[in-house]
Chains A and B, each alone.
Chain A
Amino acid sequence: MPKIIKLVFLLYFCFNFSYAKGINTKVEQITKNLRCLICQGQSVYDSQSDFAISMKLVVKNMIDEGKKEKEIYDYLKSKYGEWIVYEPELNQNTFLLWLLPLILFIFGGLLIIRKVSIK
């Protein structure tokens, strides 16, 4: 049994990639992951509001300065709060968010193994 759990986790971390394909530049990639705070349910990238336009500039300038992706996110989070990023980081507030579905998946798997006789 532990082997299966290990395998599941291994698989999970192997494929733990962001599915942001077709993005050409870094600005796009980052602004698509930012919430436009004054819009309803739009990303900074998709929005043309004043806020979004200035945010795009901020991100662009920070990339030009040579900042890393994580530094940009950290800076924006410290300024606007966790709410601005679409991908919540794993911390004590969010570990259930990330782990609950996985726990349920393992639990479901155990239930099926109990139900099925292997012959």
Chain B
Amino acid sequence: MSNYLGNYSLYIALIASVYLIFKSYLDANSENKYLDKNFILITSIQTIMITVSFFSLVAAFVISDFSNETVFNNSHTLKPLFYKVSGTWGNHEGSLLLWLLVLSIFLFIFLLNSRSQDTKYKLLTILFQQIIISGFLVFILLTSNPFKTLYPIPTEGLGLNPILQDPALAIHPPILYLGYVGTSIIFSASLASMISGNIGDKWARHIKKWVLVSWVFLTIGILLGSIWAYYELGWGGFWFWDPVENVSLMPWFCLTALLHTVIVLQKRNSFKEWTIILSITTFSLSMSGTFLVRSGILNSIHTFANDPSRGLYILSFLFILILMSILIFFFNQNKISNTAKENFILSKETAILVNNWFMMFFLSVVLVGTIYPIFLEVLNGSKISVGPPFYHKLLIPFLIPFLISMSFGPSLKWIKDKLKKFNYNILIIFFVSLLISYVILTKTENSFLLSLPLIVLSIYLLLVTIKDFFVSKSSISQKISHFGFSLLITSILLNGLFSNEFNSNMKVGDERIFNEKVLKLKEVNVTDVDNYKSLKASFEVTNKNSAFALYPEVRIYQQPLTITSEADIKTTLFSDNFLVFNILKDDGYYNVRYQYKPLMIWIWISTIFISLGGLLSVIRKNEQKY
């Protein structure tokens, strides 16, 4: 029943899409002053149809309707309800349906929110957005229909990968998708504004909300994925430079650049072409992200659905969209009214250009590092791996000029600033950060000269952004985000410098001594829980003046047979103690890995600060003028 409902509502949505494409194309060429009421009506019908389709898939998962192939492949009656629901988007077909749902809801909200905009601009935005929607609808119906039926109906499903049964991962894809899909509105709107010739400060104010919304969701989405990787994969890292992680980071760099550029467009009516190019690039990166993940050409743990024909479809679709936007860009370039102003070297405009410069560099490193191995393999068959050392070597040195420019860029004035008289506050802050860094670095055995500039600058930037809360006139949202960013960099650097770990094979009763700590494996309890067998170990860590217990776990799932390690993490404001163990083949021995990770929680908190700044900017009604 739900299969038919879900399937046919997708067809109705496709008909609505085709109608809207033609109608908006025809209307955009006539000189209608008002938007035909049918647009809102048909768009709401389409949104409702896609919503119905999505929820009929959710329903099929909840009631474990194994006549549905997607449910059969990805669910199991023994699974807790929460993971049955999240199983809806934990697979290829369902996640695409979610993409589609967000696409149509965003277009609907866009229509409701842009009543005051020019009619032609709105029509063209509908046109481009519907082209994307119809592309996804056809893709789903042709290659990845989530409503394929099975007969005879199986009595039990194949289950979901237990690694993916996790609260952070359950909400990670929807949040990330909100960010990805938000960039589609920016893409459609910027192409529309290019053709209708309304790109300028007013348009910037209108589109800025969408940039901010997408950016906030993307940031939180990346954060959730990272938190999941930290405690679920059991390796104790939070970023692995895995291709699938990179794919979400790339649009983030681009969107961050756009976020800054759009402010210049709003305040100075400048950088018009660049804003359009960034909008197109951001969306292309989000789309190719979907392509890279879904096609399975990336060798990665995240690729739980592999099918080359699907990748080929997304690739051609992406190619058409990019070609279309390039053509539109070149044929309409003359419509951009030339309001470009002279840029002075000491000005906020230049500072934002420098921000964009670095963002584009970071983007290019990650982009080249992610796709180069694929191209190389296709071209001459040689297989190379591009991992953390590559990214660290290329990115870290560039953090130094980046942090310097970030420390004074935001305080520059628009148009033209003068070199001020020497500011003693800055000098004091610099010496304070030098002193703090010196004290910190004497406590590590790592090479001094190399880490010193990075630590000094990150602490310096941190202090400057704190000072700005009291001194600077810029908006509170910017202060919070910049503070969050400097806190993030500082935490990551110190975390990298002071993390240490200990690896050993132990059996029950064993004690190991390391770094003035004693680690004892007291016991291992075996129990049967719902759908897995649990081995819960009890460890005791004794410090000079304190002792605490850690209870990591190994789970053996039967459907399908998978062994996962659940780390136990003791989190304090200063550090995380991370303990994970694995079963070894030698009887009675376990491989134990203990990690001490300072300031771990601040990596998460600072990212929350970063997105909080963006969120504040979205909900604030009256923008501060400065």
Q: Residues on A close to B: CB < 8 A?
A: 11-12, 14-22, 24, 28, 33, 35, 40-43, 46, 48, 81-88, 93-94, 96-98, 100-102, 104-105, 108-109, 112, 115-119
Contact = CB atoms under 8 A, between A and B. Distances in A.
A15 B451 CA distance: 9
Interface of B: 235, 240, 242, 299-301, 303, 342-345, 350, 353-354, 357, 360-361, 364-365, 368-369, 372, 376, 380, 382-390, 392-394, 396-398, 400-401, 446-447, 450-451, 496-501, 503, 582, 584, 591
A19 B385 contact: no
- B299, B360, B385: most-surrounded residue (chain A CB, <10 A): B385
B498 A22 contact: yes
A18 B582 contact: no
Contacts of B446: 21
Contact of A101 (B361, B392, B400, B584): B361
A87 B369 CA distance: 11
A48 B233 CA distance: 13
A112 B387 CA distance: 31
Contact of B387 (A15, A35, A96, A98): A35
B385 A83 contact: yes
A37 B242 CA distance: 15
Given A35-B385, A88-B385, A93-B382, 8 more contacts: A21-B451, A22-B498, A22-B500, A48-B591, A101-B368, A108-B360, A115-B343, A116-B344
A87 B390 contact: yes
B357 A33 contact: no
27 contacts: A15-B397, A15-B450, A16-B393, A19-B388, A21-B497, A22-B496, A22-B497, A22-B498, A41-B242, A48-B584, A82-B382, A82-B384, A82-B385, A84-B385, A85-B385, A86-B387, A87-B393, A96-B372, A97-B384, A101-B368, A101-B394, A105-B398, A108-B360, A115-B343, A116-B343, A117-B345, A119-B344
Nearest to B361: A105
- B350, B357, B389: most-surrounded residue (chain A CB, <10 A): B389
Nearest to A104: B364
Contacts of A118: 345
Contacts of B385: 35, 82-86, 88
B384 A93 contact: yes
A19 B496 contact: yes
B503 to A, nearest CB: 8
A115 B273 CA distance: 13
- A85, A86, A119: most-surrounded residue (chain B CB, <10 A): A86
A97 B389 contact: no
Contacts of B392: 18-20
Contacts of A24: 500-501
B299 A40 contact: yes
A52 to B, nearest CB: 11
Contacts of A42: 235, 301
Contacts of A100: 364, 368
A97 B369 contact: yes
- B343, B387, B401: most-surrounded residue (chain A CB, <10 A): B387
A79 to B, nearest CB: 14
A46 B233 CA distance: 10
A18 B447 CA distance: 11
Contacts of A28: 503
Contacts of A41: 240, 242, 299-301
Nearest to B416: A119
A78 to B, nearest CB: 14
Contact of B372 (A22, A97, A104, A105): A97
